[in-house]
A = this chain, B = another copy of it.
Amino acid sequence: MPNVKRIGVLTGGGDSPGINAALRAIVRRAAAAGLEVVGFRDGWKGVIEDDVVPLGLADVSGILPVGGTILGTSRTNPFIKEGKEWKPTPKVDRILETVKTRKVDALIPIGGDDTLGVAHRLASHGVRAVGIPQTIDNDVAGTDYCLGFHSALAVVTDALDKLHTTAHAHHRVLIVEVMGRDSGWIALVGGIAGGADVILVPEEPFSVHDVGKAIEHRLESGRRFSIIVVAEGARPVELGGKPVAQEGRVDQFGHPQLGGVGYWLAGELEKKGLPLTPRVTVLAYLQRGGVATPFDRMLATRFGAAAVEFVLAGKHDVMTGLRGHDVVAVPLAEVLAQSPKPVAREFLALARNIGVR
């Protein structure tokens, strides 16, 4: 059993509303165990640059419902990918230095596979860490759900509820573009929960022809509006399966346009001469905002407390994972080998089985 006195926490990658709840749980659980907690600002950047703040009970008071992260975040990575290998940069030495001089016995990094991957690679340099999977994309493997996913769903679902009444009143096709470059978790579960008529995910290429058919089919059965949820990374193909030329996916300034597939689809549907005018809503960073749902607050509290307990139990190079009712320690090696986790096939089947295209 290690002699743990001080824990360092950091938050990396894209934020979500549950992070502060996790920080609060870590500090409160650590306080109950007589441990000190320090925070590093802006993800791994703060460890590299020794940018540290004390985190006591007073510092986490009142932050439970507040979105974002009181520590700030960044995408700084002290390793660099060469081919399939990750190589350390000199920043790794600075991390080791900070951990040593700050007398941090273990780190709790909170983030997605990028942030957690750093923790795993630091293990071979002697850094002990217990990660917490947090990403609205829900694509970290080894856990039923990542922290933040359900809060992002709440934004998408609320948006779809708002759009339903106006789509109905105006007889429109409303296209809602949501986050998800590589995985369709938000689009699929958000779309099912919000009652979308068509859901387009990166895992399954789509053709404009099929989308048009689905809308026409609804029209024929008297439903004079349709709501389409499209992940930003959804990939259009031609009828034979050939990818649609990507020039349609750059914006008018020539740079690749993530966030453009919704407008692109609207343009294509308009060209087909549907009797319903398509209109586009781009939720973008709204999906990172708002208050955490009860599910995420409970998950954050459980993950935060469990991370401290795993540290106390001498576990490291692991992350907290939800498995059914239990929170377990999942080896990071296993997590990273299986991430990004594609959207569940049974959820795709569910959508099709209840008549969503």
**Chain B residue with the shortest CB-CB distance to A174:** B285
Q: Chain A contact residues (Cβ within 8 angstroms of B): what range?
A: 35 or more
Is A295 within 8 A of B297, CB to CB? no
Identify the A interface with B (CB < 8 A): 11, 14-15, 17, 25, 28-29, 31-32, 57, 61-62, 64-69, 72-73, 144, 150, 153-157, 159, 161-172, 174, 189-190, 192-195, 223, 248, 250-253, 255, 259-260, 263-264, 267, 270-271, 279-286, 288-291, 293-295, 297-298, 301-302, 305, 323-325, 344, 350, 353-355
Is B29 within 8 A of A67, CB to CB? no
**Chain B residue with the shortest CB-CB distance to A323:** B324
**Cβ–Cβ < 8 Å partners of A25 in chain B:** 354
**Cβ–Cβ < 8 Å partners of A67 in chain B:** 162, 165-166
A88 → B minimal CB distance (Å)? 26
**Chain B residue with the shortest CB-CB distance to A350:** B305
Copies of this chain, tallied across the complex: 4
**Cβ–Cβ < 8 Å partners of A171 in chain B:** 72
A64 to B289, CA, bound (A): 16
Is B298 within 8 A of A325, CB to CB? no
**Chain B residue with the shortest CB-CB distance to A223:** B61
A68's contact among B15, B69, B73, B168, by CB below 8 Å, is which? Answer: B168
A162's contact among B174, B286, B297, by CB below 8 Å, is which? Answer: B286
**Cβ–Cβ < 8 Å partners of A354 in chain B:** 25, 28-29, 32, 301, 305
**Cβ–Cβ < 8 Å partners of A305 in chain B:** 350, 353-354
**Chain B residue with the shortest CB-CB distance to A26:** B354
Is A31 within 8 A of B355, CB to CB? yes
**Chain B residue with the shortest CB-CB distance to A250:** B252
Known A-B contacts A28-B354, A289-B161; A294 and B190 likewise in contact (beta carbons under 8 Å): yes
**Chain B residue with the shortest CB-CB distance to A166:** B288
A294's contact among B62, B66, B157, B250, by CB below 8 Å, is which? Answer: B157
**Cβ–Cβ < 8 Å partners of A192 in chain B:** 297-298, 301
